[in-house]
Structure 1
Amino acid sequence: MNDQTTAHREELLAVFDREMREQARPDGPGVRVERTDGVVRQVGGPHDWNAVIWSSPDLDAARADAAIAAQVTHWTELGYDEFEWKLYAHDRPADLGARLLAAGFVPEEPETLLVAPVADQPMTVRLPEGVRLRTVRDEADVDLMVRAHEQAFGKDGSRLRRQVLAQLREDPDHFFGVLAMAGDDPVSSARMELYPGTGFAGLWGGGTVEEWRGKGVYRALIAFRAGIAAERGYRYLQVDATEDSRPILQRLGFTVLGTTTPYVYRPAS
């Protein structure tokens, strides 16, 4: 990695940290962002995504342990089944992950954080024969999205269903859902969240059922969402990618900024 590439990556990471983490806004209806104890956290209802999304880069060992303890106390007192500390590889102190582990958090699979300028993305949608796109507009569409998600990822889509229905109902201007349909069957689904006050649009989902992978459906969904982001004046696309998606995104010009790992705390029952 040459000096120019390194500088570009560091600049993108600094903008992301500032706009999407330190200055975070609520990511949906019914949630709020709080700043306390050297962290920024999102707090909603028990079925929302509750998480620490930023921690101060000047946390030392003692302050980190105190911040961890304070967050455990906060969510335990709320009576929630779980909450997440969203740890990024560059967060400090360097052993923050080990400190979370020692406090009872359980790490899940890491994902790769990638960012790309919207203007650099291809926006022509090319779909394989027999596949069409359908935007998510109502409850029936949400059910199709959940069906595609569950088939693609093998995970329960109950939380996704609640989240998308709430966004369609209460914040439709900053949410876009799209389905790839083969006949009456959803073969892929994806979402985009626009974050007002930032330059970022977040790409989420993008799961394709196994028999339709490798045919360009995932790339088509990115191009479709990139076009919407460009129309709305957003500068960057951001993705937390699995290892299946990362190589495709890199070929499309996304820059790897690091990794992010969900550390999940579940109070003892």
Structure 2
Amino acid sequence: MTPEDVAAACAAWTWVPESATTVETDELLLVRYPVWFSRPLELLRLEPRRQLDAVVAEVMERARTFDDVDELLWWVRLGSPAGLESAVVALGGVVEETLDVLALDLSEPAVDLDVKAEVELRWNTDVTTERDAQLVQSIVFEDEMPPDEELESAARTAAATVLAGHGGCLVAYLDGRPVGAAGLAVGEHVARLWGGSVLEEVRGRGIYRALLSARLTYAREHGLTMGLVKGRVQTSGPILRRAGFSVFGQERSYVVPLR
């Protein structure tokens, strides 16, 4: 598992919900998320084939066509072209989040994460569990709750994908109360771990570790060879490193004003 392998797996990792609006060329991908997302407009991909300044200017021009959005979330990712970060700062971009990019060779023996028996885990294969997952993540990530039709659609999808080995979202419960959630998506041989979230008042009780252990077990059972995750430097990052993940770099998101 080389740095090039990890960078390629990161570049291939994009997620666009069916209800989103996209602007895509061979150089860029802009996504306008549904209204319940806290950051509705995001640049997911940038692969310049011309001078960087020209492509950056095009991103801003296309982003400004969304009249109801005042900010663009712009990610500087592994493999981004030299000079991009400086260009984003020159646009007025302010760092919102820095994530470690971590990967794990799933052919290596699993590390014992000392999972506590008090944590109950369920996949989001029904509407009730999907609603619990969204509730936790809306609190942690400061999003709004999706409408019921979105919850129903997500639960139907997960009922098929979890069984087929394509992943879903796990919800953690303490005494019947949803307190954590974390997803897994599959890309070729890669287990993409996303959305790990635990309510602040119950952190430190092994909930994130339980969600991580269960997802890694699922990945190994379905023949995946790499675990890939982008972890918050101060929270999930240390847990992931103790679980055997290695850091391959960092990615930063910038909030760029459009008006």
Q: Distance in 1 between matches of 2:223 and 2:45?
A: 26
Give the match for residue 29 of structure 1: 18
> What amino acid sits opposite 1:233 in the alignment?
G
Amino-acid identity (%): 23
Secondary structure in 1 aligned to 2:183?
A: strand
In 1, Cα distance between the equivalents of 2:252 and 2:147?
20
> Tell me, which stretches of 5 or more residues in structure 1 are unaligned?
1-7
- 1:231 — aligned with what? 221
Query: What residue is the counterpart of 2:238 in the other structure?
Result: 247
**TM-fit CA distance, 1:235:** 1.6
Which secondary structure state, in structure 1, belongs to the residue aligned with residue 97 of structure 2? Answer: coil
**Paired residue type of 1:219:** R
Which residue of 1 is the match for residue 208 of structure 2?
218
Establish whether residue 208 from structure 1 lines up as the match of residue 195 from structure 2. Answer: no
Deviation of 1:214 after TM superposition, in Å, equals: 2.5
Which residue of structure 2 aligns with residue 3 of structure 1?
A: none
Q: How far off its partner does 1:141 sit?
A: 1.5
1:115 aligns with 2:103: yes
TM-score if structure 1 supplies the norm length?
0.76
Cα 1:169/1:107, change in 2 over 3 Å: farther
**Counterpart mapping for 1:151-230 below 5 A:** 151=139, 153=140, 155-158=142-145, 166-170=153-157, 172-173=160-161, 174-195=166-187, 198-230=188-220
Number of equivalences? 248
Shift of the alpha carbon at 1:71?
0.9
Structure 1 residue 237, shift from structure 2 partner: 1.3
Alignment-mate amino acid for residue 87 of structure 1: V
Structure 1 stretch 119-128 or stretch 227-236: which is displaced more?
119-128
Deviation at 1:165, TM superposition (A): 5.5
> In 1, distance between residues paired with 2:252 and 2:143?
20
Aligned equivalents of 2:78, 2:152: Cα separation in 1: 32
Q: In 1, distance between residues paired with 2:222 and 2:28?
A: 27
Change (3 A) 1:200 1:89: closer
- Larger CA deviation: 184-193 vs 154-163: 154-163
- Report if the CA contact (8 A) 1:149-1:189 is conserved: yes
| In structure 2, distance between residues paired with 1:126 and 1:160 | 37
The alignment partner of 2:107 has SS state of helix
Distance in 2 of aligned mates of 1:35 and 1:16: 24
SS of structure 1 residue aligned to 2:81: coil
SS across alignment from 1:15? helix
User: Which deviations, in whole Å up to 9, do the C-alpha atoms of 1:226-258 show, x marking residues without a partner?
Assistant: 122223322211111112111111111111011
- Paired position in structure 1 for 2:131: 143
Is residue 26–residue 33 contact of structure 1 (8 Å, CA) maintained in 2? Answer: no
Partners in 1 of 2:5 and 2:23 — Cα distance? Answer: 19
After superposition, the Cα gap between the structure-2 partners of 1:28 and 1:118, relative to the gap in structure 1 and judged at 3 Å, is farther
CA shift at 1:25, angstroms?
A: 5.7
Q: Select the residue among 218, 231, 248 that pairs with 1:257.
A: 248
In the alignment, the residues of structure 2 paired with residue 105 and residue 161 of structure 1 have an alpha-carbon distance, to the nearest angstrom, of 35
